[in-house]
Amino acid sequence: MMAAEKQTGYWLDLGLTQYAPAFAIQEQILQARLDGQLAPTVILQENLPILTIGRSGSRDNILSSPENLEQLGIEVLEVNRGGDVTYHGPGQLIVSPLLYLGDIGLNANQYLHRLEDVLIELLACYDIHAGKKEGHPGVWREEAKIAAVGIAVKHGYTFHGFSLNLNPDLEAFNLINPCGVRQMPVTSIRQVLGQSPPMAQIKTRLREILHKNFALETRTAIWSDLARNLKR
Amino acid sequence: MRYDIEIPPTADGALEVTVVSWIKAVGDPVSKGQDLAEATTEKITLYVTAPAEGTLSEIIVAAGSKVKVGTVIGVLEGA
């Protein structure tokens, strides 16, 4: 069997940002992908504290009062990924590969599980033995979730993706039933290892693993350059 | 010409999805590829898009219902 043809694309690291403007960028990139204007793009970000509610979610899974959340400076937003409520904040890496399922030869469900494989491989680089749990998407270290997955697909084009806990404030997950599950334990690389490797090192390793899994080669891009090209 | 509006294929096997919402209403004109409805599994949101330009003429499966991938959930009358 011939190997899938290697795709070239972009690696777009938005750094620490608010959720909403970063998602607006993701939507513009998705539209450009749908219009055939832009190569596959992997978007990385860390968000300022926010609770997002996915399409299967409910505000009932937020255990904290709106007043308390406001006091803590935590926003709440309904978003169009699959899944329920989750927390995003500094120390958590969010990765959204904007790929075309036809290019990678996977259906949506297989792609979701491939993202879990990518995370398991990444964690194994740090001697963290993580795995999948039948019927409970995400990546688990023993009974605690270390990474969450939630994707959306339009015309075969993927968006959203996964979030991996390096060293976020795990207390924040007590404000919710994460992914709609009551008292679901959440962990982080820091909690497992006692410290987290630098974010930049994790990103470099992740990039290699994503390249290998999706026959992809990305070059580093900045949003203003991509945006300028899209407007032409 | 009538077009069936189907839940796009996502998975091997008989995956069930929930029709979360209809973005367009019966009688709305739509262009090819426009979003008509959103469906979701536990972790995957799928957009159901218009197979052709025309008018959304019938909603067969209402928001909130669970259906299998490939199910026809509405009808589009081509322009």
pLDDT band at B16 (very low <50, low <70, confident <90, very high): confident
* Contacting A residues, span 185-214, partner chain B, CB-CB under 8 Å: none
Answer yes or no: is pLDDT of A230 > 90: no
Per 3-state DSSP, chain A is made up of helix, strand and coil in percentages (nearest 5) of 35, 35, 30
**Average pLDDT value over all residues in chain B:** 91
- From the candidates A12, A99, A149, A179, give the one annotated as an active-site residue: A179
The verdict on a CB contact (< 8 Å) between A151 and B45 is: yes
The H or E element spanning position A31 is helix A19-34
The C-alpha of A86 sits at a distance from chain B's nearest C-alpha, in angstroms, of: 12
Average pLDDT, chain A: 92
Q: Chain A closest CA to B73's CA: distance in Å? A: 17
Confidence of residue A114 (pLDDT cuts 50, 70, 90): very high
Whether the pLDDT of residue A180 is over 70: the answer is yes
Is A125 annotated in the active site?
Answer: no
Residue B54 has pLDDT above 50, yes or no: yes
Is the pLDDT at A217 greater than 60, yes or no?
yes
Nearest residue in chain A measured CA to CA from B15: A109
Is the pLDDT reported for residue A119 higher than 70? yes
| Partner A, chain B 9-48, Cβ-Cβ below 8 Å | 9-12, 15, 18, 20, 33, 35, 38, 40-47
Q: How distant is the Cα of A153 from the closest Cα of chain B, in angstroms?
A: 5
For A125-178, the pLDDT digits (tens) are: 999 999 999 888 999 999 999 999 999 999 999 999 999 999 999 999 999 887
Tell me what the mean pLDDT of segment B56-63 comes to: 97
Cα A157 to Cα A43: distance, rounded to the nearest angstrom: 14
Are the CB atoms for A176 and A87 separated by under 8 Å? yes
Which residue in A83, A152, A156 is closest to B42 by CB distance?
A83
Nearest chain B Cα distance for residue A25, angstroms: 19
User: Any idea what DSSP says for residue A46?
Assistant: E
Least confident of A124-133, B20-29, B35-44: B35-44
Q: B 55-74 residues with CB below 8 A of A?
A: none
HSE value, Cβ hemisphere, 13 Å, CA-based, for A21: 9
Pairing of strands A75-78, A50-53: parallel
Residue A1 pLDDT: 43
Q: Closest chain B residue to A151 measured between Cα atoms? A: B44
Q: Cα separations (Å) of A78 from A20, A175, A221, B8?
A: 11, 16, 28, 24
Three-state DSSP state, A111: helix
List pLDDT tens digits, range A27-63.
999 999 999 999 999 999 999 999 999 888 888 899 9
- The Cβ of residue A60 has, within 10 Å, a number of other Cβ atoms equal to 10
pLDDT value of position A31: 94
Strand B16-22 relative to strand B44-49, pairing: unpaired
Query: Residues with Cβ < 8 Å from A132, sequence gap 6 or more?
Result: A113, A116, A120, A138, A139, A140
* Average pLDDT for B23-50: 93
Residues of A in contact with B46 (CB under 8 A): 108, 152-153
Which band of pLDDT confidence, cut at 50, 70 and 90, is reported for residue B57?
A: very high
This model of the complex carries an ipTM of 0.88
Question: What's the rounded Cα separation, in Å, for the pair A5 and A8?
Answer: 10
CB spacing of A154 vs B49 below 8 angstroms: yes
Q: A17: pLDDT confidence band, cut at 50, 70 and 90?
A: very high
Q: Is the separation of the CB atoms in B9 and B22 below 8 Å?
A: no
The confidence score (pLDDT) of residue B11 equals 63
For residue B14, pLDDT over 60 is answered with no
Q: How confident is the model at residue A4 (pLDDT cuts 50, 70, 90)?
A: low
